[in-house]
Amino acid sequence: MKVIQHSPEKLRTALVSNSKTIAKLYSKYTEEERRLLEEGFHPGTPGSLFKPITVHSDSDWIPAHPEEPQDFETFYKDPYRRTPDADHSTIYLQTIGSFGEVGVQTDQYVEWLRDYCQAFFYGLSVNLLPAVTVAETGCSFRVNSNSHNLQILTGDLLRFLEKRKPKDAFCIVGITMIDLYPKDSWNFVFGQASLSMGMGIFSFARYDDNFYTRSYAGRLKKQIEAKPGAYSVFEGYYTPPITSTLLLRSCKTMTHEIGHMFGIKHCQWMNCIMQGSNHLEESDRRPLDFCPICLHKLHVSVGFQIAERYKALLLWMEEDLSQISRPEGASSCHASLSYPKPTEAFHASKLWLRRCLDLLEKH
């Protein structure tokens, strides 16, 4: 295991920059906000809010995909990065296929994802487009010859999203519980995006704890021929059970991928949601939120008070408790339609957000 530790000077330059004009952007933060961001100059010191990146093996992202690290200045000067403006300030989520065994569960799950995104990209609106079935996208599909599960073709889905993208969209993100493939010769892909067009499609199928086991329920029992246009195979097809871990993984993937839409590249500074990930174990290791350098990139694109954003995220994580303590007399019919949000897996993040807020609110 190797720890990637940058010097405080290097991290300061990556965050603030040596250029006077760019450093001016940093001086807009309040003293309390700067105190929080500057915690990132010493990742890993006892009690620090941020940790250095640890490389566990050669199959981790950084050794497998050497990339130029992107500091704030490089990000800011990138002529191709996209920024939301008054006419393009909405993030659209498009679900494709089922997200749960029952309709109500599907609706609730995607609502949780939407609300989470809205807190994460604080200041922007996140809207759900009406759900579509696989058939409605008209995409090609196949049965994977190794894992024997259904897969849908990413290119077709991106073309579908392009037609579906509302005029005021900053970006449109398609999400599905069905596995994806980008071309015949590939085994699978977690997702595919067109950053210049603000579009992406991502699957959570492989975040099912059982996906890589023989007992995976998405394996088709009998040999099914995937005839073009014969979408009835998707009716009643297996979807992963909605667990706290699945919710956590989905929230992480979605926000990481939408982060790329702003032009934020993979983070190599410290532990951060924008770290690249080559495998599930590595994605699970990523924290839920941005490091100070990536937070500064989002901040300059959107503009928000850091404490307000953290409060919104914390509220989302604590909302399940308010649901459980619903006042007596609340309609039992309504209660049966409402599933408590499984946020146990967010516990460490909850504590982290509270520590950040304590620091921001200390005068």
How many Cα atoms are found within 13 Å in the side-chain-facing hemisphere of 119? 22
Cross-strand bridge partners of residue 200? 173, 193
- R_g of the chain, CA atoms, integer Å: 21
Least CB distance to Zn ion at residue 244 (A)? 23
User: Min. distance of Cβ 78 from Zn ion in angstroms?
Assistant: 16
Q: Which stretch binds Zn ion (CB under 5 A): 221-229, 270-278, 333-341, 344-352?
A: 270-278
Name the residue among 15, 11, 39 with its Cα closest to residue 27.
15
Nearest CA to 316 out of 289, 290, 346 is that of: 346
Q: Is 119 in the site for Zn ion (CB under 5 A)?
A: no
Segment contacting Zn ion (CB under 5 A): 39-47, 108-116, 245-253, 267-275? 267-275
Task: Return the number of the residue (242 or 293) whose C-beta is nearest Zn ion.
Answer: 293
Residues contacting Zn ion: total by CB under 5 A: 5
- To the nearest whole angstrom, how small is the minimum distance from the Cβ of residue 327 to Zn ion? 42
Residue among 218, 223, 221 at smallest CA distance from 203: 218
Q: Which of 126, 242, 274, 356 binds Zn ion (CB under 5 A)?
A: 274
Closer to Zn ion at the Cβ: 172 or 193?
193
Query: Of 114 and 265, which CB lies nearer to Zn ion in the complex structure?
Result: 265
Closest CA to 179 of 233, 215, 218: 218
Footprint of Zn ion on residues 281-300 (CB under 5 A)? 291, 294
Nearest Cα to Cα of residue 53 among 270, 267, 281 = 270
- Three-state SS at 294: helix
272 near Zn ion, rule: CB under 5 A: yes
Residue 250 Cβ, how far from Zn ion at the closest point, in Å? 15
| Ramachandran bin of 179, using left for φ above 0, alpha for ψ from -120 to 50, beta for the remaining angles | beta
Q: Could you tell me the smallest distance in angstroms from the CB atom of residue 279 to Zn ion?
A: 13
Judged by DSSP in three states, 153 sits in strand
Distance separating alpha carbons of residues 20 and 18, to the nearest angstrom: 6
CB 148 within 8 A of CB 220: yes
**Neighbour count for residue 48 (Cβ, 10 Å):** 14
User: What minimum distance in Å lies between the beta carbon of 295 and Zn ion?
Assistant: 8
Considering beta carbons, is residue 100 or 259 the nearer one to Zn ion? 259
Q: How far is the CB of 228 from Zn ion (least distance, A)?
A: 32
d(CA 194, CA 174): 12
Q: Which tokens hold the place of 228?
A: 């073009």
Q: Is 267 in the site for Zn ion (CB under 5 A)?
A: yes
Which DSSP state fits 165?
-
CB atoms within 10 A of CB 132: 16
Residues assigned a catalytic role: 257
- Pick from 63, 59, 67, 66: nearest CA to 279: 59
Query: Can residue 193 be called a binding residue for Zn ion (CB under 5 A)?
Result: no
At 130 the three-state DSSP class reads strand
258 binds Zn ion (CB under 5 A): no
Q: Which residues of the chain form contacts with Zn ion (CB under 5 A)? A: 267, 272, 274, 291, 294
